[in-house]
Each structure stands twice: as structure tokens, then as C-alpha cells.
């Protein structure tokens, strides 16, 4: 199956800093999503982005499908951004997740 690798595994930031999270995948995919898992375990859909660039407030994402990677940018980070960020890719039914990046934003 498709392998999904995320980096870095852990990231600690001071409030207000910017960051870039990376997702590499081993094969062509039809769909790619970024999720944020809050401390209570809820997975929140951030972006559906199989290709191109999207922005939503302080977050933006870029997927370069031909090179099999996606980037999630967080600008002016806030403590509420803390949690685990997952990249998930799928063709048809089987969505595969990376191991996630655990982000801690300190006040």
C-alpha cells in the first residue's frame, strides 16, 4: 500500500512563530487531506488538497502531486494550534494516514 511519511515528528514553537509541516507519499494519489487532531481526539478537516495551493486564514497548504509531497504552513501560531497534524492520502476507499506531526505552541 501507499506509504505516508510526515516530518518533523515533533515541533515546539513559541507563540507567533511560523512553521512548515511536510508530507511525502510513495505513489500517485487521487485525494489528499490535512487534519488537525485536538487534545480530545477529534480529527478536524483542514484542507482537501490533491494538488495546488489553498489558504484558510493563518493556514495554507500546497500539494505537488507530480513530486508526491504536500506542505502545510502555519503562520503566526497560537497556543490553540497545538495538537497533532495528520496528512492522509487515498485512492478510492482506503485512506492512509501518516504518523503525524505533534505541534506544541508555547505562550
Partner 1 sequence: GAGVSQTPSNKVTEKGKYVELRCDPISGHTALYWYRQSLGQGPEFLIYFQGTGAADDSGLPNDRFFAVRPEGSVSTLKIQRTERGDSAMYLCASSDSSGNTIYFGEGSWLTVV
Q: Which is nearer to partner 1, 38 or 78 (CB)?
A: 38
Q: For residue 19, what is the DSSP state? A: E
Q: Which of 3, 26, 28, 45 touches partner 1 (CB under 8 A)?
A: 45
Q: How far apart are CA 85 and CA 94, in angstroms?
A: 19
Q: How far apart are CA 46 and CA 56, in angstroms?
A: 8
97 binds partner 1 (CB under 8 A): yes
Q: Which is nearer to partner 1, 81 or 100 (CB)?
A: 100
Distance of CA 22 to the CA centre of its chain: 7
54 binds partner 1 (CB under 8 A): no
Contacts of 93 (CB under 8 A, 6+ apart): none
Positions in the binding site for partner 1 (CB under 8 A): 4, 31, 33, 35, 40-45, 48, 86, 88, 90, 92-100
Amino acid at each position: 500500500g501507499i506509504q505516508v511519511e510526515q516530518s518533523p515528528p515533533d515541533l515546539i514553537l513559541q507563540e507567533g512563530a511560523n512553521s512548515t509541516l511536510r508530507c511525502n507519499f510513495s505513489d500517485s494519489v487521487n485525494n489528499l487531506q490535512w487534519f488537525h487532531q485536538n487534545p480530545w481526539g477529534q480529527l478536524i478537516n483542514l484542507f482537501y488538497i490533491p494538488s495546488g495551493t489553498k489558504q484558510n486564514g493563518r493556514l495554507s497548504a500546497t500539494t505537488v502531486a507530480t513530486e508526491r509531497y504536500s506542505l502545510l504552513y502555519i503562520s503566526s501560531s497560537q497556543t490553540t494550534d497545538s495538537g497533532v497534524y495528520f496528512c492522509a492520502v487515498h485512492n478510492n476507499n482506503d485512506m492512509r494516514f501518516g504518523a503525524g506531526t505533534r505541534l506544541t505552541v508555547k505562550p
